[in-house]
């Protein structure tokens, strides 16, 4: 639970196991499972009730921790309080512009159906399928946001993908997603899918801190998406885009920065993540769904492009 809380608090290392008592951790697990069970009933009312329960659980977990007055936890509690207000019965009359949930239909961002591609990316991460699959699904998802004029070069004649040092799929479980080698493999696979087969990212490019931060970003982004409402999906997409941009910036400052400056794949990845960030940005709460349309388990559209596969 302390790792979950740390991730939710933007990876603040001050949140550690000593901060969260076994009693608080157990209470969180019970309340969160109950909230998930409620949301999975897949009606707008149960979605609201489940979101409210999640919000209350987060507030109690933060209040019950002994990590001190950390800015990250104060911010997290404030977000939970706002979520509780939005999901409360008293705000039902005003809720529709903010939370629209149509189960078993579609997820669209800016008119683009992105549900299947996003699901594949989430599954690769959560089912720990390994860095190659994480990289491939990330590239496939973000590729839907490239500029219309951009075309990927033909893969004909491209060298076969060279695997990183041997690791069986099962060997990537657990904390391996926070190891530099995981992200070296994932990024080279993503860049290869976007036209750069040179494997420009080496282990010297990614430190342990960078790898851990990127894993935390994905956990946070997917956590928001799993709220299964339009607001959470939009926030998750924004977090995914900004996390990808941050990783590319960090790689650009590392020893491999020179090779990435001339990499066609890196340019496409930057362009796609930038476009996703723009499309998923809310103009206002009153016009919140302008670019993001979400219908659970069916479709996700971003900027008119279907990217849910």
- pLDDT tens, 208-225? 999 999 998 998 888 888
Give the model's pLDDT for residue 277: 82
Please return the burial class of 71, using the count of CB atoms within 10 Å of its CB with bins 0-12, 13-18 and 19+.
exposed
Answer whether residue 274 is part of any domain: yes
172, 184, 202 from 179: Cα distances, Å: 9, 9, 13
* One domain, residues 161 and 292: yes
Residue with tokens 């060279």: 162
The pTM of this model reads 0.53
Same domain? 61 vs 179: no
Q: Write out the residue range of the structural domain in which residue 33 sits.
A: 2-95
Q: Are residues 269 and 179 in the same domain?
A: yes
Q: Which of 49, 67, 95 is the last residue of a domain?
A: 95
> What's the token pair of residue 260?
């990435």
On whether the CB atoms of residues 292 and 230 are closer than 8 A, the answer is: yes
Beta pairing partners, 295: 299
Residue 132 included in any domain: yes
Last residue of a domain, one of 95, 117, 139: 95
Count CB-CB contacts under 10 A for residue 187.
29
Rg, Å, the chain Cα set: 20
Same domain membership, residue 65 and residue 181:
no
Return the number of other C-beta atoms located less than 10 Å from residue 70's C-beta. 16
- Which pair of structure tokens corresponds to residue 24? 């608080």
Contact criterion met (CB below 8 Å) for 192 and 199: yes
What are the structure tokens assigned to 207, written together?
């430190």
Q: Judge if 224 and 186 occupy the same domain.
A: yes
Number of structural domains found in the chain: 2
Same domain, 111 and 35: no
Same domain, 87 and 131: no
Instruction: Report the C-alpha gap between 57 and 64 in whole angstroms.
Output: 10
Weakly modelled stretches of the chain, pLDDT under 70: 4, 7-12, 39-40, 42-44, 47-48, 51, 82-115, 118, 143-175, 255, 257, 281-309
Q: Could you tell me if 88 and 132 lie in one domain?
A: no
| Residue 34 shares a structural domain with residue 113 | no
Confidence at residue 131, expressed as pLDDT on a 0 to 100 scale: 78
Q: Are residues 87 and 138 in the same domain?
A: no
List, edge to edge, every strand of the sheet that includes 292-295.
112-113, 107-109, 292-295, 299-302, 305-306
Predicted local confidence at residue 186, as pLDDT: 92
pLDDT at residue 190, rounded to an integer: 92
Q: Is residue 102 domain-resident?
A: no
Output the CA angle 305-306-309, nearest 5 degrees: 145
Q: Which of 64, 95, 126 is the last residue of a domain?
A: 95
- Hey, which residues does 300 pair with through a beta bridge? 294
Residues 173 and 260 in one domain: yes
In a domain, 283, yes or no: yes
Give the pLDDT score at 256.
Answer: 74
Considering the domain boundaries, does residue 205 fall inside one? yes
The reply to whether 100 falls in a domain is: no
From CA 31, how far away is CA 37, in angstroms rounded? 10
At residue 11, the pLDDT reads: 67
Partners of 107 in beta bridges: 294
The burial of 178, by beta-carbon neighbours within 10 Å (0-12 exposed, 13-18 middle, 19 or more buried), is given as middle
Both 24 and 158 in one domain: the answer is no
Residue 63 placed within a domain: yes
101 within a domain of the structure (yes/no): no
Q: In the prediction, which pLDDT does 90 show?
A: 42
CA distance 287 to 166: 49
């Amino acid at each position: 639970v302390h790792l979950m809380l740390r991730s939710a608090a933007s990876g603040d290392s001050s949140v550690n196991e000593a901060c969260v008592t076994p009693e608080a951790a157990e209470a969180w697990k019970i309340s969160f499972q109950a909230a998930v069970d409620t949301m999975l009933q897949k009606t707008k009312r149960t979605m609201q009730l489940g979101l409210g329960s999640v919000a209350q659980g987060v507030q109690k977990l933060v209040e019950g921790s002994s990590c001190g007055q950390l800015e990250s936890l104060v911010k997290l509690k404030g977000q939970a309080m706002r979520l509780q207000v939005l999901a409360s019965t008293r705000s039902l009359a005003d809720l529709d512009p903010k939370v629209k949930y149509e189960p078993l239909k579609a997820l669209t961002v800016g008119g683009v159906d992105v549900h299947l591609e996003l699901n594949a990316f989430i599954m690769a991460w959560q089912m720990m399928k390994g860095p190659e699959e994480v990289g491939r699904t990330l590239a496939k998802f973000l590729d839907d946001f490239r500029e219309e004029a951009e075309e990927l070069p033909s893969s004909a004649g491209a060298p076969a993908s060279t695997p990183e040092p041997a690791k069986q799929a099962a060997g990537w479980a657990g904390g391996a997603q926070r190891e530099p080698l995981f992200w070296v493999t994932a990024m080279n696979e993503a860049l290869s899918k976007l036209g750069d087969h040179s494997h420009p990212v080496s282990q010297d490019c990614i430190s342990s801190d960078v790898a851990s931060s990127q894993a935390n970003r994905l956990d946070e982004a997917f956590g928001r998406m799993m709220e299964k409402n339009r607001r959470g999906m939009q926030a998750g997409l924004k977090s995914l885009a900004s996390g990808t941009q941050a990783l590319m910036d960090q790689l650009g400052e590392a020893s491999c920065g020179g090779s990435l400056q001339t990499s066609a794949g890196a340019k496409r990845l930057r362009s796609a993540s930038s476009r996703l960030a723009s499309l998923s940005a809310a103009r206002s709460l009153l016009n919140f769904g302008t670019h993001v349309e979400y219908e659970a388990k069916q479709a996700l559209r971003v900027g008119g492009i279907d990217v849910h596969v």
